């Protein structure tokens, strides 16, 4: 909670005053949306593209969000650069124009030879952003043509974990400082070596935060993803003493309730395996089909302890070991999963504030990026990420396949999530429904995220915001934390 109104901070519309209660206007008010456009998005690190999308010198891709367009360019020896996409003459975007009125841009090409040519009067810029041609120079006053003043305006960009991250704020702490130790943990898992297998996208009629928050707790699994619930017993039974609910699905080696209560070992392993299959099919990745097959080969393994609660983590360790060996033997750049799961463990979900998250399992991941299109609409992308033998990587996926949110072509688990998100947005408008009521124990991430947003809207010093951001990587079912502002 923002501690004082007299600290020179801006007033936040519909602020969070009770960390367990989220005022509903934050999800539909034009005023709140505009506050985010003005005070949140220009100061945060945004995942602009995956580096595999711009592998060659001169490759560029456009990134758009909340009315801004940026060109991310591979300049070869000069590294990855980003330019604000506006000609220095009269402001026309120098690239990406065929799609400027599409939902979120994403045009791409190679500018090594041609550079960027403004479609209005033909001014040119090279991949380093330098102006190389002004048509009819003699028509301009000399002071209008100061060379440095004609170059494309650079946008701050950093690369990490296989992606380019942009920030409009030159004063913001670095990407690494904002995200914190999570970066090292992801690097240890060779996340930069992952490649997209596919990318689907949809327009959801919901606020972007509603969409993010659908992935911040496992509390919804019992009702929203009943197939996952029935494969394994209840985790919340143990944790919270309720009589319904299950865990989030968890990551490798998470013990589930079905491992207790006298079930035989084989029965428990079968249930765990079934859960893996459902996750793999349900996400069309994340726990990749090739990894499921390796796990299947260990169902009959001998020598495990009789007690399932002891055996299951050991069994998951054996799967991780076999995945490491077998995929490495195929030439995939998989790290030693047994080692990195101990030295740099990752959570079942890892958030990179504000609009990107990764769902790791063994060596493959799912990832999500969500961009607002207005107070009650967002563009929602899902990527399946996996590794390939070096030199056998497929052509990069350059654009998502955009489907209606209720399309049967979405993998089953996201489709189940999409069934709730738009109707929740409608429910928030109900008379008398003033705030969301959070569980302090398993919906804390939602509170933490929302209060960090308030920090940006209020203008809390960025070093403090970065420190708070470091706390947010988190797993499903995080607790409400003190963000120290
Ligand atoms: S606006 Fe680009 S050349 Fe005129
Ligand atoms: Fe879900």
- Which of 69, 83, 90 to probe ligand 1 with, by most ligand atoms within 8 A of CB? 90
Q: List, chain by chain if needed, residues with CB within 6 Å of any ligand 1 atom.
A: 87, 89-90, 92, 118, 120-123
Percentage of the residues of the chain whose pLDDT score is greater than 90: 85
Beta-carbon contacts of residue 175 (< 8 Å; ≥ 6 apart): 45, 158, 160, 165, 167, 183
Nearest atom within ligand 1 for CA of residue 90: 1
Nearest atom within ligand 1 for CA of residue 88: 2
Surrounding residues of ion ligand 2, Cβ less than 5 A: 417
d(CA 233, CA 260): 9
User: Does 145 have pLDDT greater than 70?
Assistant: yes
Nearest atom within ligand 1 for CA of residue 92: 1
Give yes or no for a contact between 52 and 108, defined as CB atoms under 8 angstroms apart. no
Could you tell me the strand order of the sheet in which 356-360 lies? 350-352, 356-360, 365-374, 377-386, 195-204, 401-402
Which residue is closest in CA terms to ligand 1's atom 4?
121
Task: Report how far ligand 1's centroid is from the alpha carbon of 109 (Å).
Answer: 20
Q: Token digits for 61?
A: 């891709």
User: Does 247 have pLDDT greater than 60?
Assistant: no
Tens of pLDDT along 425-481?
999 999 999 999 999 999 999 999 999 999 999 999 999 999 999 988 767 888 999
- State residue 97's pLDDT score: 72
d(CA 51, CA 71): 13
- State residue 438's pLDDT score: 97
d(CA 190, CA 443): 29
Could you tell me the strand order of the sheet in which 163-167 lies? 46-50, 163-167, 154-160, 80-84, 68-74, 59-65, 108-110
- DSSP reduced 3-state for 22: strand
Which residue is closest in CA terms to ligand 1's atom 3?
121
Q: Token digits for 241?
A: 């003493």
Which residue is closest in CA terms to ligand 1's atom 1?
90
Q: Hey, what CATH class is 21-41+180-211+348-470 in? A: alpha beta
Percentage of the residues of the chain whose pLDDT score is greater than 70: 91
Task: Report how far ligand 1's centroid is from the alpha carbon of 108 (Å).
Answer: 20
Domain 46-167 matching CATH 2.102.10.10: the answer reads: yes
Counting ligands in written order, which one lies closest to the CA of residue 136?
1
Task: Report how far ligand 1's centroid is from the alpha carbon of 83 (Å).
Answer: 16
- What number of CA atoms fall less than 13 Å from residue 24's CA on the CB side? 14
d(CA 229, CA 452): 32
Q: Token digits for 266?
A: 């084989």
Q: Hey, where are the domains in the chain?
A: 21-41+180-211+348-470, 46-167, 223-343
Give yes or no for a contact between 435 and 447, defined as CB atoms under 8 angstroms apart. no
Task: Report how far ligand 2's centroid is from the alpha carbon of 477 (Å).
Answer: 12
User: Does 253 have pLDDT greater than 70?
Assistant: no
Counting ligands in written order, which one lies closest to the CA of residue 90?
1
Residue 425: which H helix or E strand, with range? helix 412-427
Give yes or no for a contact between 154 and 83, defined as CB atoms under 8 angstroms apart. yes
- State residue 100's pLDDT score: 55
Q: Does 21-41+180-211+348-470 match 46-167 in CATH topology?
A: no
Counting ligands in written order, which one lies closest to the CA of residue 412?
2
- State residue 249's pLDDT score: 39
Counting ligands in written order, which one lies closest to the CA of residue 97?
1
Residue 158: which H helix or E strand, with range? strand 154-160
Residue 274: which H helix or E strand, with range? helix 265-283
Whether a cis peptide bond, with omega within 30° of 0, leads into 416 is no
pLDDT category of residue 245 using cuts at 50, 70 and 90: very low
Nearest atom within ligand 1 for CA of residue 91: 1
pLDDT category of residue 230 using cuts at 50, 70 and 90: confident
Nearest atom within ligand 1 for CA of residue 118: 2
User: Does 215 have pLDDT greater than 80?
Assistant: yes
- State residue 476's pLDDT score: 82
Counting ligands in written order, which one lies closest to the CA of residue 116?
1
- DSSP reduced 3-state for 371: strand
Q: What is the pTM of this model?
A: 0.93
Task: Report how far ligand 1's centroid is from the alpha carbon of 77 (Å).
Answer: 29
- State residue 104's pLDDT score: 77
Alpha helices (H) in 305-400, listed in sequence order: 308-329, 337-343
Give yes or no for a contact between 283 and 366, defined as CB atoms under 8 angstroms apart. yes
pLDDT mean across residues, the chain: 91
- Which of 85, 97, 120 to probe ligand 1 with, by most ligand atoms within 8 A of CB? 120
- State residue 259's pLDDT score: 47
- Which of 121, 136, 140, 152 to probe ligand 1 with, by most ligand atoms within 8 A of CB? 121
Handedness of CA 328, 54, 166, 421 (dihedral sign): negative
Strands 377-386 and 59-65: unpaired
């Amino acid at each position: 909670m923002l501690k004082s109104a007299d600290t020179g901070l801006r007033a936040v519309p519909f602020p969070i005053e009770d960390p367990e209660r989220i005022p509903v206007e934050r999800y539909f008010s034009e005023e709140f949306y505009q506050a985010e456009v003005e005070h949140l998005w220009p100061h945060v690190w945004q995942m602009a593209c995956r580096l595999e999308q711009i592998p060659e010198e001169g490759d560029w891709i456009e990134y758009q969000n909340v009315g801004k367009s940026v060109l991310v360019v591979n300049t070869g020896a000069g590294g990855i650069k980003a330019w604000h996409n506006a000609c220095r003459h009269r402001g026309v975007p120098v690239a990406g124009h065929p799609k400027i009125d599409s939902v979120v841009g994403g045009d791409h090409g190679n500018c090594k030879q041609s550079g960027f040519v403004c479609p209005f009067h033909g001014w040119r810029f090279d991949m380093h952003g330098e102006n190389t041609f002004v048509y009819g120079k003699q028509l301009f006053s000399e002071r209008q043509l100061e060379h440095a003043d004609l170059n494309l305006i650079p946008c701050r960009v950093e690369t990490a974990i296989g992606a380019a991250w942009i920030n409009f704020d030159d004063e913001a702490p670095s990407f690494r400082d904002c995200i914190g130790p999570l970066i090292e943990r992801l690097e240890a898992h060779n996340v930069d070596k992952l490649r997209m297998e596919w990318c689907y996208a949809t327009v959801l009629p919901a606020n972007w935060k509603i969409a993010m928050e659908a992935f911040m707790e496992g509390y919804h699994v019992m009702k929203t993803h009943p197939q996952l619930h029935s494969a394994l017993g209840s985790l919340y039974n143990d944790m919270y003493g309720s009589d319904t609910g299950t865990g989030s699905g968890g990551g490798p080696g998470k013990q589930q309730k079905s491992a207790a209560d006298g079930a035989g070992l084989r029965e428990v392993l079968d249930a765990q395996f079934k859960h893996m299959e459902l996750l793999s099919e349900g996400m069309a990745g994340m726990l990749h089909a090739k990894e499921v097959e390796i796990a299947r080969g260990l169902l009959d393994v001998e020598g495990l302890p009789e007690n399932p609660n002891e055996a299951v983590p050991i069994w998951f360790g054996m799967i991780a070991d076999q995945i490491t060996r077998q995929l490495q033997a195929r030439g995939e750049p998989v790290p030693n999963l047994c080692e990195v799961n101990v030295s740099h463990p990752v959570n079942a979900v890892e958030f990179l504030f504000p609009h990107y998250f990764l769902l790791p399992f063994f060596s493959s991941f799912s990832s999500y990026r969500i961009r607002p299109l207005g107070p009650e609409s967002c563009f929602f992308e899902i990527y399946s990420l996996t590794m390939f033998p070096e030199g056998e990587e497929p052509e990069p996926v350059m654009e998502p396949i955009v489907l209606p949110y209720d399309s049967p072509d979405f993998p089953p688990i996201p489709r189940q999530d999409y069934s709730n998100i738009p109707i929740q947005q409608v429910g928030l408008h109900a008379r008398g429904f003033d705030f969301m009521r959070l569980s302090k124990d398993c919906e804390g991430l939602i509170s933490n995220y929302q209060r960090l947003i308030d920090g940006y809207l209020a203008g809390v010093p960025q070093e403090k915001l970065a420190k708070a951001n470091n706390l947010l990587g988190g797993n499903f079912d995080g607790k409400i934390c003190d963000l120290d502002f």
